[in-house]
Amino acid sequence: EPEVTQTPSHQVTQMGQEVILRCVPISNHLYFYWYRQILGQKVEFLVSFYNNEISEKSEIFDDQFSVERPDGSNFTLKIRSTKLEDSAMYFCASGLGERGDTGELFFGEGSRLTVL
Amino acid sequence: GESVGLHLPTLSVQEGDNSIINCAYSNSASDYFIWYKQESGKGPQFIIDIRSNMDKRQGQRVTVLLNKTVKHLSLQIAATQPGDSAVYFCAENNPVAGTALIFGKGTTLSVSS
Phi–psi pair at A85, nearest 5 degrees: -75, -5
CA B79 – CA B85 distance, rounded (Å):
12
What is the pLDDT tens value at each position of chain A, 116 positions in all? 779 999 999 999 999 999 999 999 998 898 899 999 998 888 999 999 988 999 889 999 999 999 999 887 899 999 999 999 999 999 999 988 655 445 678 999 999 999 99
User: Exposure pattern of A17-52 as b/e (b: 16+ CB <10 Å)?
Assistant: eebebbbbbbeebbbbbbbbbeeeeebbbbbbbbee
Q: Which CATH class is domain A5-96?
A: mainly beta
Q: B79 lies in a domain? A: yes
Of A42, A45, A109, the CB nearest to B100: A45
Domain boundaries, chain A: 5-96
Q: B9 lies in a domain? A: no
Q: What is the pLDDT of residues A48-71, one digit of tens each?
A: 998 899 988 999 999 999 999 988
Structural domain tally of chain B? 1
Q: B83 lies in a domain? A: yes
Which residues of chain A are within 8 Å of residue B104 when distances are taken between CB atoms? 42
What is the pLDDT tens value at each position of chain B, 113 positions in all? 333 334 678 999 999 999 999 999 888 889 999 999 999 888 999 999 999 999 999 999 999 999 999 999 999 999 999 999 999 999 998 877 777 888 988 999 999 98
Residues of A with CB under 8 A from a CB of B: 4, 31, 33, 35, 42-45, 48, 50, 55-56, 58, 91, 93, 95, 98-99, 102-110
Q: B1 lies in a domain? A: no
* CATH code for the domain in which residue B55 is found: 2.60.40.10
Task: Give the per-residue SS3 of B17-58.
Answer: CCEEEEEECCCCCCCEEEEEEECCCCCCEEEEEEECCCCEEE
Q: B51 lies in a domain? A: yes
Nearest to B82 by CA among B19, B6, B1, B4: B19
Q: B4 lies in a domain? A: no
Rounded to a whole number of angstroms, the distance from the CA of B24 to the nearest CA of chain A is 14
Q: Where are the beta strands (DSSP E) in chain A?
A: 5-7, 10-13, 19-24, 31-37, 44-50, 53-57, 65-68, 75-79, 88-95, 105-107, 111-115
